Structure 1
């Protein structure tokens, strides 16, 4: 029996991606930008905990497909955020990954050219370049944590993350949420029920965990949290 008859039987193509460290080196954050993101994360934590009386509002496009349009949106978003800052804390939604119930476009990272070419490395580069530019505009950013590999590439740029309706009940995503460095929200399940799924998700998220995933250098790692 040939060895290949047992491995990657349903895989037709494979491309090795650059590592998270390589992507971050190509599109780095400055010390000032890192401090800005840390401050935004703390502000969001304070609002959730009731230490800041403002209302947290995460809003923006359903998903990002055009970086230039996202920048134009961000300019207007920043102006609005300044107007309402006394009572509302606005966080711009910048979603690059689309969960699908069946099939469809899965987002800018998966297929940035929207032509079925699935240039994932190109998508990661476009996403990180855009995020750095948005952070440079002074905006706090939010996303949905969908692919467990993506946070190593982009997670340092976000101030808030969501676990979506299709993944709220997923053990993998609950463990991933435990390891994220920013505040995380869980959506209702796809059946519309909220409290049970969210209660179980928060319990799973808060529990100690060990899981394996690629580390910052792109090598397999066992993480504990």
Structure 2
């Protein structure tokens, strides 16, 4: 039985599933595993403080909160592509959506949803 006081090992500590807990089909096509940096590191290396992104995110979150709490009667519309693979296409989509956001500002709060590199099954 494992020690309840001890934390499970992290990816950084080189944790891997023991061979007796996997089957022959687990990760059969995985060639390599590259651990992602934790969000805390990304926030430090790519800060938004003092950039044009900071007020955009802050104000959008405030508007969403007002809509969800009923003090803004506009409809919240969260939309975007299924997955983003091409940065240029994402920027093009964002520009087009920004124009629609301005067009419908009185009745809609349009927010772009972004999901990067969604895993896909290819045939």
Establish whether TM, by shorter chain, passes 0.5: yes
Name the residue aligned to 1:22. 41
User: Does residue 121 of structure 2 align to residue 104 of structure 1?
Assistant: yes
Cα-to-partner distance string for 1:137-189 (whole Å, 9 max, x where unaligned) = xxxxxxxxxxxxxxxxxxxxxxxxxxxxxxxxxxxxxxxxxxxxxxxxxxxxx
Question: TM-score, structure 2 length as denominator?
Answer: 0.63
Q: Which of 62, 68, 81 is residue 61 of structure 1 equivalent to?
A: 81
Query: How many Å separate the matches in 1 of 2:75 and 2:102?
Result: 14
CA RMSD of aligned residues (A): 2.8
Q: 2:101 aligns with which of 81, 85, 97?
A: 81
Aligned pair in 2 of structure 1 residues 84, 26: CA closer, same or farther (>3 Å)? same
Q: 1:61, CA displacement in angstroms?
A: 1.2
Structure 2: give runs of 5+ residues left out of the alignment. 1-15
Q: CA deviation at 1:16?
A: 4.1
Determine if contact 2:83/2:117 at 8 Å carries over to the other structure: yes
State how far apart, in whole Å, the 2-side matches of 1:16 and 1:61 are.
26
Number of residue equivalences:
97
Structure 2 counterparts to residues 36-55 of structure 1, below 5 A: 36-55=56-75
CA distance in 2, matches of 1:58, 1:7: 38
Find the structure with the greater CA-based Rg. Answer: 2
User: CA separation in 1, counterparts of 2:111 and 2:72?
Assistant: 15
Aligned pair in 2 of structure 1 residues 97, 49: CA closer, same or farther (>3 Å)? farther
- What stretches of structure 1 of length at least 5 have no aligned partner? 1-5, 106-225
Is residue 83–residue 116 contact of structure 2 (8 Å, CA) maintained in 1?
yes
Query: For residues 101-153 of structure 1, what are the alpha-carbon distances to aligned partners after superposition, in whole Å with 9 as ceiling and x for unaligned?
Result: xx716xxxxxxxxxxxxxxxxxxxxxxxxxxxxxxxxxxxxxxxxxxxxxxxx
Partners of 2:113 and 2:56 in 1: CA distance: 17
SS of the residue corresponding to residue 109 of structure 2 reads: strand
| Higher-RCO chain (CA-CA 8 Å, sequence separation at least 6) | 2
Tell whether 2:27 aligns with 1:8: no
Between the aligned partners of 1:89 and 1:24, the Cα distance in structure 2 is 26
Equivalent residues of 2:85, 2:117 under 8 A apart: no
Q: Which structure shows the bigger proportion of residues in strand conformation?
A: 1
Distance 1:60 1:17, change over 3 A: closer
